[in-house]
Structure 1
Amino acid sequence: MVEVWLPYGDSEVCVRIPTTSLLDVIKPKDVDVPPDPQEEIRSALKNPVEGKSIEDIAKSETKVSIVLKESFLQINRMIICTLIDELRSAGIRDEDVTLIIAHDPFRLSSEHDLPTDTSLSERLRIIWHNHRDGENVYFGSSPSGIKFYLNRNFLEADVKILVGTVEPHPIIGYTGGWELIFPGIADTDSSNEIFKLELDEITMRGRLKDNPVYEEISGAAEKIHVDLALHVVMNGEFKLVKVFAGEVNKSFLEAVKFADSIYRIPVEDRADVVFISPGGSYFDATFQESTLCLDTALDVLGKKKDLILVAECSHGFGDKEFLETILKYPNLRLLRKDLERKFSIPKLMAYRLMNVLQRINLSMVT
């Protein structure tokens, strides 16, 4: 028997499989962690992929806004502490820095999980982006004509900085880059109109080219002047392994290229049974969030074969609308009509789950 340990909340679950039955254990490739992660961040800031360094863009009495996703708290603390030190060295006062926590509609927000240490939270202005706030400002339209409204604090800043991790995303292709703007600091209506393009069913995890959602986000956000982006790539243990800083697009694409070398794994044979974990705590807090990983199994599992989801779901089922949608609609056709009429992210996630369930048999360990 072979023992395979799968992340489950803050712990692990052991799956015992007969040696002759195990085809493969698919996980991100092993990559060495730099000896000094903070030095890796500082080096990236001082040697941008393209564009200006902090010393070039930050001047005394400059108002700075930093957009940061609420995830991977340990990495976020390290990034923000290092970034603030560099800004301070360039003459920026702490009181002139606003940290905007980006909204992620695919994750349940936890405002108590402050992504900075206590000393920073006492000195910086920290706000959580309100995607329903009437104070979001109209900025322009996307290539297809979608009007978008963005966070006023970000738009009014003298210096705008984006900070995020780069990892495969089931709809956008990869997180990071302009995803920190859409949906990060956009209003609900703007984001919903863009994510409605997912109904074309040609988006794919890890794909940017010919991805309508990514192209729409990029086309809209490129109208926004961003001074600096900081992109972090992690290994399978969610530890920082590489940082790319500089102009948004160039640093993002370099980060994606490196991330591809970690996350894109060749698979030869399809399996009859696949055990899958969303990745443990943060990713498996609810059943709704746990389902985001299911599409990754479709390329390695035979049609109508068995997929076993291992997820703790410590916070229960998830959004009420997600559950109501699953219970209400007997088929995808009716749900699609409803999504076209009145779109929402919880209903889209229910749609994606129902689409997967048409192709595999799903069981769950929780």
Structure 2
Amino acid sequence: MRIDLPFGGRQMSIALPDGIPVRLLRPAPVEPHPDPEAAVRKALDHPIGSPLLEEMARPGQRVALIVDDITRPTPVALVLPEVLRRLSRAGVRSTDVTIVIALGSHRPMLPEEIARHLGKAAAGYRVVQSDAYDEAQFENLGFSQLGIPVQIHRTVLESDLRVAIGNIVPHSDAGWGGGAKIVFPGVAGLRSIAALHLRGGEGPPTAFGSDITPVRMDIEALVAEIGLHFIVNTVLTGQGQLYRVVAGHFLAAHRRGVGYAKEVFGIAIPEAMEAALINAYPAELDFWQASKALFAGVRIVRPGGRMLLVAPCPEGFGPHPMFGHYLGLPSATLAALVERGEAEEPIAAGGALLVAKIRDLFSVAIYSPGLTEGQITAMGFEPVRDPQAWLARLGVGELAAITHGGETCPYISGRE
């Protein structure tokens, strides 16, 4: 059996071993929406739990229009024109609208990336990037219910109307992306993001695809206080085409969207597997993103089982170069370092805490042209030069092959 995996802008063909039953896990073959622009208009015409956007907007209001960055597949250029049209129809001047790119702790986007991500409709509008490393951009608002320090971008706080465009896929800490998460940690400062990742790293590596998690609840309680007035969230097919759009209240619309996302990415299997081949796509830009695909394997591989993660990682470790260093520490040492507050890069340490738990529970191998064998070995993983040869030597009785590990949420029937 041969499968083709989306890998760094091309297809990587892998022959799976003969004689081993293979369970192929990929997003459900749902039909993409035949008219994406009409789907956006319909969602905005029928908001969930909220008035129409054009009824909420008023002339003279300052509007913060928050969008995510290129690490997310959100079709911002599809949604943005209709949102801007409705704001204009309500009397909001273009000079009163600021498009805020929610970088979280990711690198700034290049001008050409911004132009491609936002599309032509953004021309003439003020665009700012939320740079977590620039303290001057943020205002301190105390602490969340979990005790996380809250720093939010001043442009967002100073606006009268806050609108967000995002996408819904599984997430390792918050259960699902989208909704309130674009505000916190999307437009939060470094101390906020670091503390949030550290708190997520304290829990088990099983939040991926969960409806409610402690981190999700904390985020939503905080954003309810700050105020996120309207969201537009998309759900895509496994091929990146539009499947559904939801709009309205940041809680009610998001919950509806999670239901749609489960139709695409929630895949049931009857029992746990001995091993899994996991392709990180579409979370494949760097290892910070690609490591999230391991959480899909956690949901279906038996403890002590084997996983092979394949990911191109053209940007190496990504925005957190200490991530690999922390993964190279024994788990107890890393946990103690975090507990004492001595981690030089807390965001990377929090992420490493969670991934290290997977490393300790499973046997994990990695194939990644963007990382050296030495880097992979130093993190406590097995480096792989040839995925096909590794699979041929696997010697297990069954194998799961996950084609879209960065967004697929497999589960054992009866456990959801």
TM norm structure 2: 0.81
Amino acid at match of 1:228: F
Match in the other structure for 1:12 = 11
Note closer, same or farther for the CA distance 1:193–1:315 as it changes in structure 2 (3 Å cut). closer
Name the CA distance, whole Å, in 2 between partners of 1:104 and 1:228: 20
Q: How far apart are residue 288 of structure 1 and its match? A: 3.0
Give the Cα separation in 1 of the matches to 2:237 and 2:191. 34
Q: 1:174 aligns with which of 173, 176, 186?
A: 176
- Structure-to-structure mapping, 1:240-259, within 5 angstroms: 240-259=242-261
SS at match of 2:295: helix
Q: In the alignment, is the contact (CA less than 8 A) between 1:231 and 1:252 conserved in 2?
A: yes
Partner of 1:58: 57
Q: In structure 2, what is the equivalent of residue 304 of structure 1?
A: 304
1:56-99 CA distance string (max 9 Å, x none): 11222322111111135671111112211222222222222100
Superposition map of 1:155-234 within 5 A? 155-202=157-204, 204-209=207-212, 211-234=213-236
Give the whole-Å Cα distance in 2 for the aligned partners of 1:332 and 1:345.
Answer: 16
**Whole-angstrom distance in 2 between the partners of 1:265 and 1:55:** 38
- Give the deviation of 1:21 after TM superposition: 1.7
* Change over 3 Å in CA distance of 1:111–1:3 after alignment to 2: same
Distance in structure 1 (CA, Å) of the matches to 2:79 and 2:309: 32
Matched AA of 2:366: M
Contact kept, 8 Å, 1:273 with 1:305, in 2: the verdict is yes
What residue is the counterpart of 2:89 in the other structure? 89
Equivalent position amino acid for 2:220 in 1: S
Contact 2:278 2:310 in 1 (8 A): yes
Indicate the residue corresponding to 1:323 in structure 2. 324
**Corresponding residue for residue 289 of structure 1:** 289
Matched residue type, 2:137: E
Output the amino acid matched with 1:206. G
Deviation at 1:348, TM superposition (A): 2.1
How many residues are aligned here? 358
After superposition, give the CA deviation of every residue in 1:254-310 in whole Å (9 maximum; x if it has no partner).
Answer: 111221222221112333332111114xx2122332111112112322333331111
**3-state SS of paired residue (2:28):** coil
In structure 2, distance between residues paired with 1:38 and 1:5: 30
- The letter for the 2-side match of 1:33 is P
Paired residue for 2:348, among 309, 330, 346?
346
CA RMSD in angstroms comes to 2.0
Instruction: Give the deviation of 1:320 after TM superposition.
Output: 2.0
Superimposed CA distance per residue, residues 9-44 of structure 1 (whole angstroms, 9 cap, x where no aligned partner): 111211212464233111121221111111111111
174-183 or 82-91, which deviates more: 82-91
Q: 1:326 to 1:52 in 2, by over 3 A?
A: same
In the alignment, the residues of structure 2 paired with residue 189 and residue 224 of structure 1 have an alpha-carbon distance, to the nearest angstrom, of 18
CA distance in 1, matches of 2:22, 2:145: 45
* Residue 145 (structure 1) shift: 4.1
Which sits farther off after the overlay, 176-185 or 72-81?
72-81
Q: Tell whether the 8 Å contact from 1:195 to 1:213 is kept in structure 2 after alignment.
A: no
SS of the equivalent of 2:26 reads coil
Contact 1:194–1:216 (8 Å) recurs in 2: no
Does the C-alpha gap of structure 1 residues 288 and 224 become closer, same or farther in structure 2, counting only changes over 3 Å? Answer: closer
Equivalent residues of 1:73, 1:116 under 8 A apart: no
Query: Given residue 10 of structure 1, which amino acid in structure 2 is its aligned partner?
Result: G
> What is the identity, as a one-letter code, of the residue corresponding to 1:364?
I
Q: TM-score, normalised on structure 1?
A: 0.91
The CA deviation at 1:134 is: 2.4
User: CA–CA distance in 1 between the matches of 2:37 and 2:123?
Assistant: 22
Query: What is the distance in 2 between the residues matched to 1:29 and 1:221?
Result: 32
Distance 1:74 1:233, change over 3 A: closer
* Structure 1 residue 109 displacement after superposition: 4.6
AA partner of residue 89 (structure 2): S
Would the alpha carbon gap of residues 207 and 303 (structure 1) be closer, same or farther in structure 2, given more than 3 Å must change?
A: closer
Map of 1:99-114 to 2, 5 A cutoff?
A: 99-105=99-105, 107-112=106-111, 113-114=113-114
1:125 is matched with: 126
Q: What is the deviation of 1:188?
A: 1.5
State which drifts further: 78-87 or 339-348.
Answer: 339-348
| Distance in 2 of aligned mates of 1:90 and 1:265 | 42
How far 1:234 moved relative to its partner? 1.2
Q: Which runs of 5+ in 2 are unaligned?
A: 369-416
